Amino acid sequence: MKRRLRIFTVLALLLTALLTLCGCRQEFDASSYLKAILDNSYKHDPTAFLDQEIGTEEQAEELFQQGIDNNMEAMTASLSVPEEQKGDFRTLFETIYGKADYTVGEAEKQEDDSYVVTVTYRPMELFSQVETQLLDEVNNLTESYMEQAMNGGEVPDEETLTLEILQLYKDLTNTQLENLTYGEEQTCQIRIELNDKVYTPNTDDLMTLENGILGVSV
């Protein structure tokens, strides 16, 4: 179940409007700024986001929830998730993002007044493990129902099969989260660009970081 989870696509666009340079600001701290965004987006911790006046509490919550919305849209594009189960999956995605392991390093100012911030992270091994296990379970389920059909038994309808697969996915993911493992440390450079007197993280860099942290294939 390789999916490109796109939490930051919307975040970076919205943040462009939130942090505007003004005369009352001293030296811009690109490292703290990026950490505030990541902590709000992954850890659901808006403390620094609010302290640095990047946005309001409502905006911080909206940005976080839009990241979860993107994941829900990616899932429902391939599977029909019943309304009564969507809350469970939202909670599951929040838990996954809360497990992100990253450290924001120092920022290096560039000649064009932009910054480059190096983020060190450990990629989750969650999705690769769950994918392998889920495929095995689905294959076993398919063989079981084929044998059942050949013996004159009834085969569940599409809705029932979908619910079974969703339950398998939730159970396997929750089990792996209890003993989550990570790969070796890696680094990713995030450009904090200055456009029209507004600092904003580079969207492609954030996407690269997200894929790396979550350990998913593009």
- DSSP-assigned states of every residue in 98-145: HT-EEEEEEEEE-TTS-EEEEEEEE-B-HHHHHHHHHHHHHHHHHHHH
User: Quick one: 150 and 211 in the same domain?
Assistant: no
Same domain, 157 and 96: no
Q: How far apart are CA 2 and CA 88, in angstroms?
A: 20
CA-closest candidate to residue 184, choices 215, 210, 218, 211: 215
Q: Please check whether residues 107 and 2 belong to one and the same domain.
A: yes
| The two structure tokens encoding residue 37 | 């965004």
Average pLDDT over residues 172-197: 94
The helix/strand/coil state of 50 is helix
Decide the pairing of beta strands 186-195 and 101-109.
unpaired
pLDDT averaged over the chain?
Answer: 84
In this structure, the dihedral spanned by the alpha carbons of residues 162, 215, 200 and 39, taken in order and rounded to 10 degrees, is 90
Give the pLDDT score at 96.
Answer: 94
Total number of domains constituting the chain: 2
Mark whether 100 and 84 lie in a shared domain. yes
Phi, psi of 212 (to 5 degrees): -70, -50
191's enclosing H/E stretch is strand 186-195
Query: Given a cut of 60, is residue 174 above it in pLDDT?
Result: yes
Query: What does the pLDDT read at residue 148?
Result: 77
Shared-domain flag, residues 173 and 208: no
CA-based nearest residue to 40, from 62, 24, 20, 18: 62
Residue of 175, 98, 74 lying closest to 129 (CA atoms): 175
Task: Inform me whether the pLDDT recorded for 9 exceeds 60.
Answer: no
Residues 100-153 have pLDDT tens digits of 999 999 999 999 999 999 999 999 999 889 988 988 888 888 888 788 778 777
**pLDDT for the residue 10:** 42
Query: How many residues are there in the chain?
Result: 218
At position 167, the amino acid (one-letter code) is: Q
Predicted confidence at residue 192, as pLDDT, reads 96
| Residues 154, 104 share a domain | no
Of the chain, the percentage scoring pLDDT greater than 90 comes to 49
Q: Are residues 129 and 140 in the same domain?
A: yes
Same structural domain, 94 and 160: no
C-alpha distances out from residue 3 to 7, 77, 127, 130, Å: 12, 11, 9, 13
Q: Which domain holds residue 73?
A: 1-122+183-218
In this structure, are 27 and 133 located in the same domain? Answer: no
Stretch 53-82: mean pLDDT: 84
Same domain, 138 and 111: no
Per-residue model confidence (pLDDT) at position 19: 47
> Any bridge partners for residue 191, and if so which?
116
User: Are residue 176 and residue 191 in the same domain, yes or no?
Assistant: no
Residue 199 has pLDDT above 80, yes or no: yes
Q: Give yes or no: residues 109 and 138 share one domain.
A: no
Q: Per-residue pLDDT for 206 more than 60?
A: yes
Q: Does residue 155 carry a pLDDT above 60?
A: yes
